[in-house]
Amino acid sequence: MKKTTFCFVLLLITFFSSMAQVQIGDGTFIDKGVPFEPSRTYSYSQSIYLSSEILATGTISSLQWYYAGPYDLMGSQEITIYIGHSTKTSFSSASNWEPLANLTEVYSGGAAANGPGWINFLLETPFVYNGTDNLVIAVREGSSLSDYSEDDFYAYEVADNRTLTLGSNTTAPNAASPANGTLRKFLPIISLD
């Protein structure tokens, strides 16, 4: 009986630890272009999360960003998310993008929003995070439509340039060879599952 109980408890611990959630950031800054810029027709961004912030290892099966806007994001339905390991702790210049070859495409689809709250993106290709390197999360929005200027995500301020953003109302950014972006000391609040 004791062996059965012990095995059951061990199974529960394993199950719940495999479903851990890591939330990074706390803030209500808006209009920072992260994780993408709904009010622009096209956008691309890369953000660096430090391993010292993540404090976990394992497979990332979904991620969430906190949406602060009042509308449904119907113009943001061509989102591609990439994730990769990196030794970078910040971006050194407006052209210092992490190469696309170092990133893995993990999601392609739309954003489902119905007012403020967490928006979940279930990754089509789960990403195995090694827990040692920093994590670069890149987001490209390529729809020819845009959303409202009030449609933003919450971000928090950091000390270094840990995000690069690029937005345009005329030309979709090429993730393999992006033009110079804008350095930002802000990261989108994120939850990794």
**What is the overall mean pLDDT for the chain?**
89
- Could you read off the pLDDT of 28-73 as tens digits, one per residue? 999 898 999 888 989 999 999 999 999 999 999 999 999 998 888 8
Q: Is the Cβ–Cβ distance between 152 and 188 less than 8 Å? A: no
Note the pLDDT of residue 161. 98
Q: 47-79: b or e for each residue (b if 16 or more CB lie within 10 Å)?
A: bbbbbebbeeebebeebbbbbbbeeebebbebb
DSSP assignment letter at 53: H
Structural domains of the chain ordered from first start: 21-192 (2.60.120)
Select the more confidently predicted residue: 143 or 161.
161
Q: 147-165: b or e for each residue (b if 16 or more CB lie within 10 Å)?
A: beeebbbbbbebeebbbbb
Residue 162's nearest CA partner among 97, 105, 103 is 97
